[in-house]
Amino acid sequence: MDKIKLIEQIKQLKGEDTLILAHTYQPPEIIDAADITGDSFALSVAASKTQAKRVIMCGVRFMAETVKILSPEKQVILAAPQATCPMADQISPERVRKFKEENPDIPVVVYINTNSALKAECDVCVTSSSAVKIVSQLPQKDILFIPDQNLGAWVQKKLPDKNIILWDGFCPIHSKMTASDVLSAKAEHPKAKLAMHPECPAEALQYADVIGSTKAIIDFALSTDEPVILGTERGVADYLIEKYPEKQFYHLCPDRLICPDMKMTTLDGLLECVKGNGGEEIVLDPQTSEKAAVCIDNMLKYGG
């Protein structure tokens, strides 16, 4: 069946009780089939404010877990069960417990791109949009920031009065960007502004005009009349180029800024989920879920 027919069928069969969420890194046809598109935390919050009884998450596992933590009463289905974020498991909950035993006065700040068992051991969660604001408000000077060393280093640069202890985690996609990748894109599009995700390393970020989350990058791209090079997973540029053909948007390294896990969702798979046959229902241990919810609530208390 062709893509348009499959999308029609998904929308027809879905019913009012089901909400389909798609992260902006998803393939364009999945975004077309979704009810809401956005960054991971915004999708979880949006889902929690709806009456939907069933939520199908087109993204990676930690995103579906965050939806479930914020809406424990809803049935949450991960459309592509094998889709995980390699960064989400780069530090074990046991390792964090050990750190806290050895350093009881150092708060542990955890990036939202982690699994719920890890969040359950940490003090406060951050997104890439809220990380600087939240870390700046913590009373302590010494802070353990896990797992993304590039995001942590960017926060450290913005907050020189803090002493941020970094972990050696990274996003295998964004961390591959080099100064030379950025300089060649800038040479190709000399009039364009460069917007980059803080999961990229400092050697590439030093040339960016704007550094921010998926949402911040999209907001900037739409707010300016100047051409923009999009230095993040290629789904963002694919989405903006398709939706705003009158604007000038360019990919940075389109062949390498691809998250394979984010491309695992298919229309056939989504159709099976809608029919009640496919995907995987997210079931979290209630104690883990409650502790992870406290970590996320702490982010909201700090205004994240």
User: Using CB under 6 A, which of the segments 117-125, 168-176, 266-274, 278-286 binds ligand SF4?
Assistant: 168-176
Does residue 234 sit in helix, strand or coil? helix
Q: Which is nearer to ligand 13P, 233 or 238 (CB)?
A: 233
213 contact, one of ligand 13P, ligand SF4, none, CB 5-8 Å limit per kind? ligand 13P
Pairing relationship of beta strands 210-211 and 193-196 according to DSSP bridges: parallel
| Single-letter code of the amino acid located at 129 | S
Q: Which is nearer to ligand 13P, 113 or 298 (CB)?
A: 113
If one asks whether residue 264 binds ligand SF4 (CB under 6 A), the answer comes out as: no
The nearest distance, CB 123 to ligand SF4, in angstroms, is 21
Pairwise CA distance, residues 192 & 187, whole Å: 10
Q: Is the peptide bond before 147 cis (omega within 30 degrees of 0)?
A: yes
If one asks whether residue 60 binds ligand SF4 (CB under 6 A), the answer comes out as: yes
Does residue 178 sit in helix, strand or coil? coil
User: Using CB under 6 A, which of the segments 80-88, 185-193, 219-227, 280-288 binds ligand SF4?
Assistant: 80-88
Out of 28, 81, 86, 227, the residue judged to bind ligand SF4 by CB under 6 A: 86
Nearest to 205 by CA among 168, 233, 177, 170: 177
Pairwise CA distance, residues 151 & 197, whole Å: 9
The nearest distance, CB 53 to ligand SF4, in angstroms, is 27
- Is residue 143 within 8 Å of residue 164, measured between CB atoms? yes
Neighbours of 61 (CB within 10 A): 22
261 contact, one of ligand 13P, ligand SF4, none, CB 5-8 Å limit per kind? ligand SF4
- Give the residues lining the site for ligand 13P (CB under 6 A): 23, 39-40, 112-113, 127-128, 171, 199, 213-214, 233
The nearest distance, CB 90 to ligand 13P, in angstroms, is 13
Residue with tokens 């596992």: 61
The nearest distance, CB 264 to ligand SF4, in angstroms, is 11
The token pair at 4 is 């348009």
Pairwise CA distance, residues 173 & 160, whole Å: 27
Residue with tokens 């199908």: 56
- Is residue 240 within 8 Å of residue 230, measured between CB atoms? yes
Binding to ligand SF4, residues 206-235 (CB under 6 A): 233
Site string for ligand SF4, 91-110 (x = CB under 6 A): --------------------
Residues of this chain that bind ligand SF4 (CB under 6 A):
60, 85-87, 113, 171-174, 199, 233, 259, 261-262
